[in-house]
Amino acid sequence: MKKTIGTAFAATFAGAVALGGFAASAADPVKIGFSESKTGLFAQAATSQYQSYNLWREQMNAAGGLDVAGTKRKVEFVSYDDQSNPGKAVQIYEKLITDDKVDLLLAPWGTSLHLAIAGVIERYKFPVVGNTAASVQLRKLKAGNIWFPTSLFPDRQSDVLAALLKDRGVNTAALVTNQLPYTQENKSFVVPALKKAGIELVVNEDYPPNVKDLTAVLTKVKNAKPDAVLAYTYPADAVLYMNGAREVGLNQRVQVVLLGPQYDFFDKIFGAARNGILTMGHWTPARKDWPSARTFADAFKARWKTDPDFVDAPLAYVSVEILQQAVAKAGLDKDKLRATIAGTTFATINGPVRFEGVMNVALPTMISQIQGGTQHIVWPPKERTAEAIAKPAWK
């Protein structure tokens, strides 16, 4: 009798374990890992990437979960602060893969961290769709486990900008550039691009990132009377440029501010005064042929009580959209996933995405302009959502 009870108990226990194990594997959340720049140099800029990731996770879970080759599974994030440190990001991605054993990976923030983790994901053959990175160096990465949906590469961006300036009748320009890497890389390409377009550079000065006043250099720009002013800024010094340009009275009809106008805080400070400012960007909710762009912008605002920026937030969301569609088709098998990402055209909030090598070849490089409180694509003509306007005089 004892034996019977024991056998029955053992059989029940084994069955429960087996059933439980089966049930757990179907219902287990999909673990998605990434490193976040919560502190350090990139913390301020990286916030919108994290907000897009979380918005997507919440949307997936509210809809019953992520479609993994036909099975819906909840999404769970595993993330660590990389302190904006590329070395730390490498350690984190290694841990996510080997220790946390995540099912999928999302990208860290910024070019330097993307470049840093490329070696780890290549070693473990773990596919990652990048997002907030744009440097010509990225093209040198081995294709296969990393891809970049953006088209904001400094060389192409410079050529497109030079073409727009020429179209706006610009013959002379002044260039002031922050000494940080992305603006310097853009400068290195825009100087020859302007020359090739026949635009003379009458002022060409750099300034350090911790600058607190630009009055002197903007006075030099005013005295040189260029047709266009190109301020290759990061967000913090973009504020200095705008305030300085107003005070000094730089009323050029063509003014380019590279990084800053895309962010919500810029709208809060300058409001209508930023109208007419040209800037970088290839996304806008105003594109009628990208209907999900408006849906994303509204959902982002409803969730985070702030508008998404026009660069990082949409790019981060595009990267998870790509992963979502690839996982629905290929499941979590890394080889199948890699082949699917490399060989599929994805529908995203930024239009179709199709990769050749590491690059998205479906998205042309574009220039945007702030008009009526939002960002419109104004160049090239076949992509634009609005005609470029002359910048109104400062008020």
Partner 1 sequence: MVDLFSGQLLIAALVLAAIYGLVALGLNLIYGTMRLLNVAHGEILMLGGYLAYWTFTLTGVGPVWSMFLALVLAGAFGAIVYRTLCRRVLRSSRLIEQIEANSLLLLFGVSIILQNVIALSFTATARAYPYLDDIVRIGTFQVTADRLVVLGIGLALCFAAILFFRLSATGLQIRALIQQPDAALLVGVDVERMRLISFSLGFAIAGVAGCLISMLEQVSPFMGFPFTIAAFVVIILGGLGNLAGGLAGAAVLAAIEVYGVALTTTSMRSILIYGVFIAVLVWRPQGLFGGRSMVR
One of 120, 176, 230, 311 touching partner 1 (CB under 8 A): 176
Binding mask 205-244 for partner 1 (x = CB under 8 A): xxxx-xxxxxxxx-xx--x-----------xx--xx--x-
Piece of the chain touching partner 1 by CB under 8 A; list 69-77, 194-202, 204-212, 250-258: 204-212
What's the closest the beta carbon of residue 238 comes to partner 1, in angstroms? 10
For residue 87, state whether it binds partner 1 (rule: CB under 8 A): no
For residue 39, state whether it binds partner 1 (rule: CB under 8 A): yes
Sign of CA dihedral 214, 216, 217, 222: positive
User: Peptide bond before 380: cis, by omega within 30 degrees of 0?
Assistant: yes
For residue 38, state whether it binds partner 1 (rule: CB under 8 A): yes
What is the total count of residues that contact partner 1 (CB under 8 A)? 47
Which is nearer to partner 1, 246 or 253 (by Cβ)?
246
DSSP state of 199: -
End-to-end C-alpha distance for the chain, whole angstroms: 95
Joined together, the tokens standing for residue 340 give 């699917």
Which is nearer to partner 1, 97 or 176 (by Cβ)?
176
For residue 52, state whether it binds partner 1 (rule: CB under 8 A): no
What's the closest the beta carbon of residue 276 comes to partner 1, in angstroms? 17
Alpha-carbon gap, residue 19 to 247, rounded angstroms: 73
Which is nearer to partner 1, 202 or 236 (by Cβ)?
236
Please report the DSSP string for 125-181 in residue order. Answer: T--EE--S---GGGGGSPTTSEEB-----HHHHHHHHHHHHHHTT--EEEEEEESSH
Joined together, the tokens standing for residue 384 give 């634009």
Alpha-carbon gap, residue 355 to 334, rounded angstroms: 17
What's the closest the beta carbon of residue 143 comes to partner 1, in angstroms? 33
Beta bridge pairs of residue 77: 32
What's the closest the beta carbon of residue 375 comes to partner 1, in angstroms? 17
Binding mask 303-322 for partner 1 (x = CB under 8 A): ---x----------------
Alpha-carbon gap, residue 234 to 262, rounded angstroms: 11
Contacts to partner 1 from residues 251-270, by CB under 8 A? 263-266, 268-270
Which is nearer to partner 1, 85 or 385 (by Cβ)?
85
DSSP state of 212: -
As separate numbers, helices (DSSP H) first and strands (DSSP E) second, the chain gives 12, 17
Which is nearer to partner 1, 15 or 209 (by Cβ)?
209
Alpha helix (H) residue ranges in 205-354: 215-224, 235-248, 264-270, 291-304, 312-330, 334-343
For residue 249, state whether it binds partner 1 (rule: CB under 8 A): yes
Which is nearer to partner 1, 177 or 340 (by Cβ)?
177
Binding residues for partner 1, per CB under 8 A? 38-41, 43-44, 46-48, 51, 176, 179, 205-208, 210-217, 219-220, 223, 235-236, 239-240, 243, 246-249, 263-266, 268-271, 306, 394-395
